[in-house]
Amino acid sequence: MIPEKVSNSQFKRSVCCLLAVLMCTLLCTVHVFAEAGEQTEVHMGQTIKVGLKYGSTAVSRFTVGCDGGFCVANYSSNGNMPVLQTVSATELEIAVNGGEVSVKDIATGDTVLSGMTTENMILPLFYNEGYSISIDGTMYHGGVMFTPSGSDKINIINAVNIDQYVCGVLPSEIGSSSPMETIKAQAVAARSYALVSALEGGNHASYGFDVCPSTHCQVYRGLKSESEACNRAASETAGQCIYYEGKPVMAYYAKNSGGYTQNVEDVWSSRLGYLRAVPDPYCQPYLWEKTYSFSELESRLAADGKNVGTLTKVEITGLADNGNVKEITFTGTEGSASYSKYTIRSFFGSSDVKSNLFRFNGAVKYVDVGEDGSIPVRETETPEDAAAKGVLMLKELFMLGANGSSGQIKADEVYVIGAGGEAKKVYADSGVGIYAVNAAGDKYLINDTGTIAKPNGDAGSSDYMTITTVEGSLNETSGSLRIVGLGYGHGIGMQQDGAIAMGKLGWSYDQILKYYYTGIEIR
Ligand SMILES: [Zn+2]
């Protein structure tokens, strides 16, 4: 899941071309492996560079394995890469010492490559035939590259075809048991996120790669996490990305909006046309709360270089149109300090204050609204009222045979049969339309668009939307601060909990994406 996605962090690059300077030649003891598998070019297609280990997790050595031997290719982002040489080992150790990178055959102890540069990639010799490699024991598609980190560490980078990358993301990000259309929506969003990171330089350009494998970008676990359902979703959407005004876009997504997604400028900085706030009744309420004493908040403020003296009041001083908190102000005996947008969660810790939709001493509130802001259809309304609002009225009902023949069914004789064999009359008890009834006895109204709406519950659709929100105080002076909120994550773009609910309601992947991203095209 992606509870968090912080905008570009500026990481200072400490060493830029150490290896490039050290290694101008790529050569040494190289054994030509197998005539049959020898290839002059690797065809990887659009590639994504994933930083597996970098910065504080950079390593001084790592191992790479492949049963069929290796080759070294010159990296190119379009994926057509000339093979520079072949190596007949099955397990290599790549180590850096005093700024020098060496590649050894573990079986023989021989140095098989020296002069590797940051532009070179080690791949399975039979890459084009579908072989994959292991990096420190974990299987990955594609190949491995590295960039220097200081003089004695290297960042490990897995360069991989974008569709294979998506296969390694889906199981962790959305799960193999989600509805197929939901997994496909996630596949297109994940692919767009990665593609734009590669094209425009994402959060990690200074380390020489496009995306990291954690929730900061997208969780990626390589080949070992892959599943049949997720691979099918990736292949059925292969190559598809999200476009806005003709350009592929960064498809930010999060776990649970809490009831209303966010305008991107209310959380980060610039306005983007495709990242607009939309009502989100599809996310099941995700409630959280956290309590802080004023003295604890004073210490946090002091640690952040903001000394306000003895804290006397905490206030919500800015709200977005959809009720999300945009600014919070701490007032003390010696001054005040404010935090706005995403820095509010950074101040508290974003796994404690899980979203920006919160109030002090709050409680959950349910608000029914129509898609166009109209009053929703209720079970108690008359058939005329319901018809005026577009609910399918049961006037005539036919059953169609396989050959197209039909027989009319009387309107007051419609039943659903439950899994336990019990029959429930679905029309007569309300008189406003056709209901489907689930195992728990909840009634879902079938509306005139053919979608299903729950009249008074959580998962709504076009006629019904129950927005969950929080009600509570905007300021606190009592000496302790109890924060109650809804949702998990930044609330921008697709919400995974909502996308799963939509998939269960029969939405297609492009309907899901077009609901959460405004004015987009998928191609
Ligand atoms: Zn990242």
pLDDT digits 0-9 by tens, 189-209 = 999 999 999 999 888 999 999
Pure H helices in 174-254? 180-200, 228-236
pLDDT, position 78:
83
Confidence of residue 309 (pLDDT cuts 50, 70, 90): very high
pLDDT, position 375:
36
Cα 175 to Cα 180, 185, 491, 513, distances in angstroms: 10, 12, 20, 17
Q: How many angstroms is it from 428 CA to the middle of ligand 1?
A: 55
Which range (81-90, 110-119, 244-253) has the least confidence?
A: 110-119
Confidence of residue 370 (pLDDT cuts 50, 70, 90): low
pLDDT, position 442:
54
pLDDT, position 13:
36
Q: How many angstroms is it from 380 CA to the middle of ligand 1?
A: 51
Span 10-21, mean pLDDT? 36
Confidence of residue 435 (pLDDT cuts 50, 70, 90): low
Give DSSP secondary structure letters for 64-84. Answer: EE-TT-EEEEE--TTSEEEEE
pLDDT, position 285:
84
C-alpha 219/C-alpha 170 separation (Å) is 8
| Averaged pLDDT of the chain | 82
Around Cβ 328, how many Cβ atoms within 10 Å?
26
pLDDT, position 411:
53
Which range (14-18, 82-86, 324-328) has the least confidence?
A: 14-18
pLDDT, position 412:
56
Confidence of residue 21 (pLDDT cuts 50, 70, 90): very low
- Tell me which residue of 126, 39, 118 sits closest to 74, measured CA to CA: 118
Q: Is the pLDDT of residue 491 over 70?
A: yes
**Farthest-apart Cα atoms in the chain, separation:** 86
Residue owning tokens 């962790």: 172
Give per-residue burial for 440-450: e unless 16+ CB within 10 Å, then b.
eeebbbbbeee
Q: Is the pLDDT of residue 283 over 90?
A: no
pLDDT, position 100:
83
Which range (60-69, 122-131, 356-365, 427-436) has the least confidence?
A: 427-436
Confidence of residue 153 (pLDDT cuts 50, 70, 90): very high
Q: How many angstroms is it from 33 CA to the middle of ligand 1?
A: 37
Around Cβ 479, how many Cβ atoms within 10 Å?
10
pLDDT, position 229:
97
- Tell me which residue of 298, 314, 326, 312 sits closest to 476, measured CA to CA: 314
Span 422-431, mean pLDDT? 44
C-alpha 47/C-alpha 161 separation (Å) is 4
The most confident of the ranges 105-119, 329-343, 356-370, 411-425 is 329-343
Span 173-183, mean pLDDT? 97
For the chain, percent of residues with pLDDT exceeding 70? 74
pLDDT, position 500:
95
Three-class DSSP category at 296: helix
pLDDT, position 281:
82
Backbone angles phi, psi at 231, to 5 degrees: -65, -35
Q: How many angstroms is it from 102 CA to the middle of ligand 1?
A: 28
Q: How many angstroms is it from 5 CA to the middle of ligand 1?
A: 8
Confidence of residue 113 (pLDDT cuts 50, 70, 90): confident
Query: Which residues does residue 49 pair with via DSSP β-bridges, in sequence order?
Result: 159
C-alpha 162/C-alpha 346 separation (Å) is 31
C-alpha 381/C-alpha 361 separation (Å) is 35
Q: Is the pLDDT of residue 294 over 80?
A: yes
Q: How many angstroms is it from 183 CA to the middle of ligand 1?
A: 21
Q: How many angstroms is it from 52 CA to the middle of ligand 1?
A: 10
Q: How many angstroms is it from 197 CA to the middle of ligand 1?
A: 10
Span 490-516, mean pLDDT? 94
Pairing mode, if any, of strands 133-135 and 120-124?
unpaired
pLDDT, position 505:
85
pLDDT, position 33:
41
Q: How many angstroms is it from 214 CA to the middle of ligand 1?
A: 6
pLDDT, position 462:
39
Q: Is the pLDDT of residue 156 over 70?
A: yes
pLDDT, position 408:
65
pLDDT, position 494:
98
Q: Is 247 exposed, middle or buried (0-12, 13-18, 19+ CB in 10 A)?
A: exposed
Q: How many angstroms is it from 434 CA to the middle of ligand 1?
A: 48
Confidence of residue 519 (pLDDT cuts 50, 70, 90): very high
Tokens of 346: 């950074």
Pairing mode, if any, of strands 494-495 and 253-254?
parallel
Span 283-296, mean pLDDT? 93
Span 103-108, mean pLDDT? 96
Span 226-240, mean pLDDT? 97
Q: How many angstroms is it from 192 CA to the middle of ligand 1?
A: 15
Span 106-129, mean pLDDT? 91
C-alpha 263/C-alpha 278 separation (Å) is 8
3-state helix, strand, coil in the chain (%, to 5): 20, 35, 45
Q: Is the pLDDT of residue 287 over 70?
A: yes
C-alpha 226/C-alpha 221 separation (Å) is 8
Confidence of residue 448 (pLDDT cuts 50, 70, 90): very low
Q: Is the pLDDT of residue 34 over 60?
A: no
Residue with the bigger pLDDT between 513 and 388: it is 513
Cα 265 to Cα 1, 261, 516, distances in angstroms: 22, 12, 16
Span 63-84, mean pLDDT? 92
Span 447-473, mean pLDDT? 56
Q: Tell me, what amino acid is at 253? A: Y
Q: Residues with Cβ within 5 Å of ion ligand 1?
A: 203, 212, 216-217
Cβ-contact 520, 242 below 8 angstroms: yes
Q: How many angstroms is it from 218 CA to the middle of ligand 1?
A: 7
Q: How many angstroms is it from 388 CA to the middle of ligand 1?
A: 50
